[in-house]
Amino acid sequence: MRRFVIFTDLDATLLDYSTYSFEGALPALRRVREEKIPLVICSSKTRKEIEYYRKKLGNGDPFISENGGGIFVPKSYFHFEPRCDECSLQEEQGYFVMGLGARYADLRKALETLRVEGFAVTGFGDMTVTEVARLAGTTIPVARMAKERDFDEPFVFEGGKEETRRLFDAITAAGFRHARGRFFHILGNSDKGKAVSILSGFYKRKYGEVETIALGDSPLDLPMLEQVDHPVAVGKPDGSYDPHLSEIPKLVRAEGIGPRGWNTAVLRLLQR
């Protein structure tokens, strides 16, 4: 029997942009739980942040942290030990942890080099917990978790279009990748799409035929949406959809903003 697997971003997708609530998605979440459909969080958030929301959601499925930098699989989840050729593998605190991203210490060094080169970049690692909370519009405890990073460094940069282009060129020349969502990001050779592809392979090994769904709202989600059978763009707070996602084949535009759009799209896909 064909099985669904859902991959989802959090911010402004399953979680409301301003309140970080998933209340608008509760009907679909109930159905996902009743039908035992795996719900894999795939976010720019850290492991601790995702675990915080997984607990609220009552979710026990694998998850993907920091824009594809890390894949966390509960040890008893699959009937086999998950492995991939391009991942490092560790066992810690009940998980198999597969690392795809760069070391955080190397990202911090790269950011410091960019500052020396004249780019006014400020990473989460340069900020206090209070500054991160104010910038992200979240609480102090959640901001503290957001600073405990492993594979990806969000940063702010106030340069214009030409200076931003030069910054991106400098990041590439240093051997790293850049991405942009709510914040700028510097990361290694990892993205959400690679991590989703790896986890999808594990689910196919477990279930056989699998039909994949992914929901996101920003350019950070583009690689993830390109990897699945049913890509869904969730509406932004102003009702628009990110133009970077418009070229994805078979893209569905959810009717609604944030978790309400998530709810409508998931229910319709499962009903079909």
* Chain centre to alpha carbon of residue 7: 9
Q: Please name the residue that has the structure tokens 């971003």.
A: 9
Q: Distance of CA 142 to CAs 54, 104, 147, Å?
A: 13, 19, 9
Burial of 180 (0-12, 13-18, 19+ CB in 10 A): middle
Q: Where are the alpha helices (DSSP H) in 125-236?
A: 129-136, 140-146, 161-173, 192-207, 222-225
Q: Note if 61 is an active site residue.
A: no
Residues annotated as catalytic (active site), given as ranges = 9
